[in-house]
Chain A
Amino acid sequence: KAGVTQTPRYLIKTRGQQVTLSCSPISGHRSVSWYQQTPGQGLQFLFEYFSETQRNKGNFPGRFSGRQFSNSRSEMNVSTLELGDSALYLCASSVGHTSEAFFGQGTRLTVV
């Protein structure tokens, strides 16, 4: 069974640009959660989507947004990129929001 797939794996963007990251969950999984991982702040929760609805949101500015499609694939968007947005962005999928979650390998975003 294929795991959680995140694309692209690596991305370099310029400050002020916007970026869209993609997450394809494991087949049959309807919940997708996004996390930001940095050396300084560790793993921080961004948001969770279930059946195309955002169910929970972490403490990030409105520049961070996401969506989920009917096939459960999810995208997150960061607008007006700042240097501090450089991080590994991870998504995790689960059947429901109370079942074991599996993380993807992440997208490494570098803002220059």
Chain B
Amino acid sequence: QQQVKQSPQSLIVQKGGIPIINCAYENTAFDYFPWYQQFPGKGPALLIAIRPDVSEKKEGRFTISFNKSAKQFSLHIMDSQPGDSATYFCAASIGTSGANNLFFGTGTRLTVIP
């Protein structure tokens, strides 16, 4: 059973566009929601993370929107660039902000066309 559901599976946008990746969860005990970026041949790298007491968090061009009542959270990438082309994973965990027992979404392959 997939604890964190992620969509879409793939996404193609033009440079400067704002791709949006969505995730949903069922377990209300989750209290840490990170997003990871993975390039081919590399391990995932933490992009940005949020806790459920905050509805939005912004770091550079990356923004997480969090809707606790709907049990959904999403990643927005402002002014997307070709260098942002990668696979993005949302994740969730309980009682930790490290890599311990993270439940990952299935990933979204983003392609930004120049």
Contacts and interface: CB of A to CB of B under 8 A. Distances in A.
Interface stretch (A65-73, A78-86, A88-96): A88-96
Contact of B44 (A43, A96, A99): A43
Contacts of A101: 46, 98-100
Interface residues of A, number: 27
Nearest to A31: B98
Interface in B11-53: 41-46
B42 A99 contact: no
Nearest to A94: B98
B66 interface: no
A16 to B, nearest CB: 29
A9 to B, nearest CB: 9
B101 A42 contact: no
B43 A42 contact: no
A99 B43 contact: no
B97 A98 contact: yes
Interface in A27-49: 31, 33, 35, 42-45, 48
7 contacts: A33-B100, A35-B102, A43-B104, A44-B104, A45-B103, A48-B101, A97-B100
Interface of B: 41-46, 89, 91, 96-107
